[in-house]
Chain A
Amino acid sequence: MAREPITPEQGRRYWLKTSRLMWTVLAAWAFLSILLPMLASSLNAIPFLGLRFGYYMAAQGSLVGFVVIIFWYARRQNSIDEEFHVDED
């Protein structure tokens, strides 16, 4: 079944929404990989699983966060593709 061609307006709105998702993900990424290690000294005051929280986040917590974010992103972006009918034929 042939599909409607993509209009420039549709393309523009698609890219806007895609960019917004990109910035959201990058903000979460920067929080886990830059902000938390910078605050590690203060966070270490909190004990966690026999470790200190600052150490725990860099060793394991942020990694779990990355995995969750990346699967969430893949689902979210795929549904944006469908919403704007720009998913693959």
Chain B
Amino acid sequence: MLRGDFNQSMGRVFVIYTGGCAACASLLIALSLLGVPDRAIGIGFVALTVGFYAVMGLLSRTTQLGDYYVAGRHVPALYNGMATAADTLSAASFIGMAGAIYAAGFDGLAFVLGWTGGFILVAVLLAPYLRKFGQYTVPDFLACRYGGNAARLMGIVVLLSASFAYVVGQIYGTGIIASRYLGVDFSLAVFVGLAGILLCSLLGGMRALIWTQVAQCVIVLIAYILPAVLLSTKATGIPLPQLVYGEAMQRVAELQSHLGVAADALAPTDAVDRVNFIGLTLCLMLGIASMPHLLSRFFTTPSVREARLSVAWTLLFIFLLFSTAPAYAAFAKLEVYQHVLGQPLAALPAWVNEWSRAGMLTVSGGGGPLRPADFALDPDAVVLAAPEIAGLPFFVAGLVAAGALAAALSSADGLLLSIANAVSHDVYYRMLAPKAGPRQRLLVARTVMVVVAGLAAWVASTRPAGILTVVGWGFSLAASGLFSALVLGVWWKRATKAGAVLGMVAGWSVCLGYILATQTHAIEPLWGVRNIAAGIFGIPVSMLATVLASLLTPAPSQDMQDFIDSIRMPRGHVRLAAGAPAEE
């Protein structure tokens, strides 16, 4: 049904997806209004979301290799942009970001700024050139540009470590949702989330992914913006949360002074910590421009021209969510101050118990009115719990959970696919078994997916840190390892193999070393830099090492310089240098 040419069936696919989602949501809303218990509605939203994607994956599944890797290169800019936005809008941005702003105020805006601004770097420095190069993966590019498997292998190491941290964050997010709405223990819930992710990932490759992700992008945006609009209407009477949340912030500040607590970070404030703010913003921006699973998205547009536009569409879609996050945080905080604090514990509704049981909320104090210090809501629960805290109908909370699940599933699918491709294509096929047929390679890819996802679920079940921190490590690792090699590879002909490999090794090791050393308390943070911004050490080290080692080694051959010239221009063939792996 969904097999034909993408352009022909596109409209139909889109109608089926969005129509199907709307039908599912209306059914649950109707059931909710008919008095079906909240618990069943919650389970219904979660089960329908996963089931829906699984069916879509099944319908558009493919075993053709070109399709599996890059969706046959027929994806128009707008749709590719939406799918890439779904990749970017992960559990971290959906569940974690507004929570970080809720908890840390201005400091939390580093995520908003970093994950949007990074796309400027992608558009200007990399996407058009990677599209012109046109082979399947980021390690392929490194291998062709820096001649040989050393650069490829180091690229894979960075890709695996960064993507793994990112996947852990997504599974952590699904665990929170499953724990809350299915009523199971968190350490079990992550494995329920894992099952959902694998079900969707294993059923199709990139083509299935693009089609489900276009739908996921729409669902994620609706599920995030609708509750913000409702919260805004409830608090101010105006349904434009992004424009009127200043009023909510002022009212929070008034309530805080009324309760005698210091105006906290959500009130309009200075950058509390300039080094960490700028450092984290830069790590996230350069990380966006180095995340292999995002970059590989721009290999799939029909032309270089479309690749540039595609990055622009991606940014526009994520902008819709990111610009809503600070408003979401402000209205959530206002609800907490208006309806929770000052109430006696016994007067609070059932959600308090549900979130406490999921380990995301600690309410202390005696029977008296709750003080701000008595109510400790985990930042990762703010977005999901806000509709319930505000007393909105339960199906709104269900919708938010479905959206968060879609965000986590779409990113996890993209990441697992990227990890599986790196192992099956770059390591297994390119380096170990060049004669392996398509079936064998797909088998390897699927085995890797299951093993990696299982491992990531286990790490998530130990709750190493909040979602944003775990995901932030991934971005720091990617930026420290790959940014210099990729950008200088296109923009500086003098960059040599020795320079690139040394730069990747040095930057990545410094970054990983700093994260591990501070996380295990082996060293104190240097200059107070939190390990989420570890790239602030890794990136300059990598850049310096690449430049110095390049200048100390002979310039790349004329062949290689011709290759670079050929990827810089949209027109003409790519002239691979001698020794580069042949295209399939």
Q: Which residues of A contact B (CB under 8 A)?
A: 3, 6, 11, 14-15, 18-19, 21-22, 25-26, 29, 32-34, 37-38, 40-41, 44, 49-52, 54-55, 58-60, 62-64, 66-67, 69-71, 73-74, 77-78, 81, 85-89
- Tell yes or no: B249 within 8 A of A by CB: yes
- Tell yes or no: B496 within 8 A of A by CB: no
12 A–B contacts, CB within 8 A, in A order: A11-B565, A18-B568, A22-B124, A32-B117, A37-B278, A37-B281, A38-B274, A54-B271, A62-B117, A63-B113, A70-B119, A81-B571
- Tell yes or no: B322 within 8 A of A by CB: yes
A26→B308 CA distance, assembly (Å): 16
- What is the chain A residue whose CB lies nearest that of B315? A70
Report B-chain residues with C-beta under 8 Å of the C-beta of A41: 270-271
Q: A49-B243, A63-B323 are in contact. Are A38 and B268 (CB under 8 A)?
A: no
A37→B280 CA distance, assembly (Å): 12
* Minimum Cβ distance to chain B for residue A59 (Å): 4
Closest 10 CB pairs of A and B: A50-B246, A52-B268, A41-B270, A59-B326, A74-B308, A51-B246, A33-B117, A58-B109, A70-B312, A86-B571
Q: A38-B274, A44-B269 are in contact. Are A63 and B123 (CB under 8 A)?
A: no
- What is the chain A residue whose CB lies nearest that of B307? A74
Please determine whether A78 and B308 come into contact, CB atoms closer than 8 angstroms: yes
- Tell yes or no: B116 within 8 A of A by CB: yes
* Minimum Cβ distance to chain A for residue B384 (Å): 21
Report A-chain residues with C-beta under 8 Å of the C-beta of B268: 44, 51-52, 55
- What is the chain A residue whose CB lies nearest that of B115? A63
Report B-chain residues with C-beta under 8 Å of the C-beta of A64: 319, 323
Contact of A26 among B119, B124, B323, B326 (CB under 8 A): B124
Interface size of B by CB at 8 A reads 52
Please determine whether B571 and A74 come into contact, CB atoms closer than 8 angstroms: no
Q: A26-B124, A34-B282, A37-B278 are in contact. Are A51 and B569 (CB under 8 A)?
A: no
- Tell yes or no: B157 within 8 A of A by CB: no
- Tell yes or no: B277 within 8 A of A by CB: yes
Contact of A63 among B116, B124, B571 (CB under 8 A): B116
CB contact list, B273-325 vs A, under 8 A = 274, 277-278, 281-282, 285, 303-305, 308-309, 311-312, 315-316, 319, 322-323
Please determine whether B304 and A88 come into contact, CB atoms closer than 8 angstroms: yes
- What is the chain B residue whose CB lies nearest that of A35? B278
Report B-chain residues with C-beta under 8 Å of the C-beta of A69: 120
A59→B117 CA distance, assembly (Å): 12
* Minimum Cβ distance to chain B for residue A84 (Å): 9
A54→B268 CA distance, assembly (Å): 9
Contact of A59 among B112, B124, B128, B304 (CB under 8 A): B112
Contact of B570 among A51, A63, A71, A86 (CB under 8 A): A86
* Minimum Cβ distance to chain B for residue A36 (Å): 9
Contact of B249 among A3, A50, A87 (CB under 8 A): A50
Please determine whether B323 and A88 come into contact, CB atoms closer than 8 angstroms: no
Q: A70-B120, A78-B305 are in contact. Are A62 and B572 (CB under 8 A)?
A: no
Please determine whether A66 and B570 come into contact, CB atoms closer than 8 angstroms: no
- Tell yes or no: B475 within 8 A of A by CB: no
- Tell yes or no: B125 within 8 A of A by CB: yes
Report A-chain residues with C-beta under 8 Å of the C-beta of B571: 3, 6, 81, 85-89
Contact of B120 among A25, A55, A60 (CB under 8 A): A25
CB contact list, B551-584 vs A, under 8 A = 565, 568-572
Instruction: Give the most central of B268, B270, B568: most A CB within 10 Å.
Output: B268
Report A-chain residues with C-beta under 8 Å of the C-beta of B277: 37
Contact of A40 among B271, B312, B565 (CB under 8 A): B271
Report B-chain residues with C-beta under 8 Å of the C-beta of A62: 113, 116-117
Report B-chain residues with C-beta under 8 Å of the C-beta of A25: 120, 124
Contact of B117 among A19, A29, A51, A87 (CB under 8 A): A29
Please determine whether A37 and B326 come into contact, CB atoms closer than 8 angstroms: no
Report B-chain residues with C-beta under 8 Å of the C-beta of A85: 571
Please determine whether B308 and A34 come into contact, CB atoms closer than 8 angstroms: no
A81→B271 CA distance, assembly (Å): 41
Q: A49-B243, A62-B113, A63-B323 are in contact. Are A29 and B120 (CB under 8 A)?
A: yes
* Minimum Cβ distance to chain A for residue B88 (Å): 13
Report A-chain residues with C-beta under 8 Å of the C-beta of B568: 15, 18
Please determine whether B246 and A73 come into contact, CB atoms closer than 8 angstroms: no
* Minimum Cβ distance to chain A for residue B354 (Å): 31
Q: A51-B249, A86-B570 are in contact. Are A66 and B270 (CB under 8 A)?
A: no
- What is the chain B residue whose CB lies nearest that of A10? B569
Please determine whether A50 and B244 come into contact, CB atoms closer than 8 angstroms: yes
A61→B322 CA distance, assembly (Å): 12
- What is the chain B residue whose CB lies nearest that of A60? B323
* Minimum Cβ distance to chain A for residue B68 (Å): 25
Report B-chain residues with C-beta under 8 Å of the C-beta of A59: 109, 112, 323, 326
- What is the chain A residue whose CB lies nearest that of B101? A59
Report B-chain residues with C-beta under 8 Å of the C-beta of A14: 569
- Tell yes or no: B256 within 8 A of A by CB: no
- Tell yes or no: B242 within 8 A of A by CB: yes
- Tell yes or no: B184 within 8 A of A by CB: no
- Using A37-B277, A70-B315 as known contacts, list a sample of 15 further A-B pairs with CB atoms less than 8 Å apart, ordered by residue number in A: A25-B120, A29-B121, A33-B281, A33-B282, A34-B282, A58-B112, A60-B326, A62-B116, A63-B113, A67-B315, A70-B123, A71-B316, A73-B308, A77-B308, A88-B570
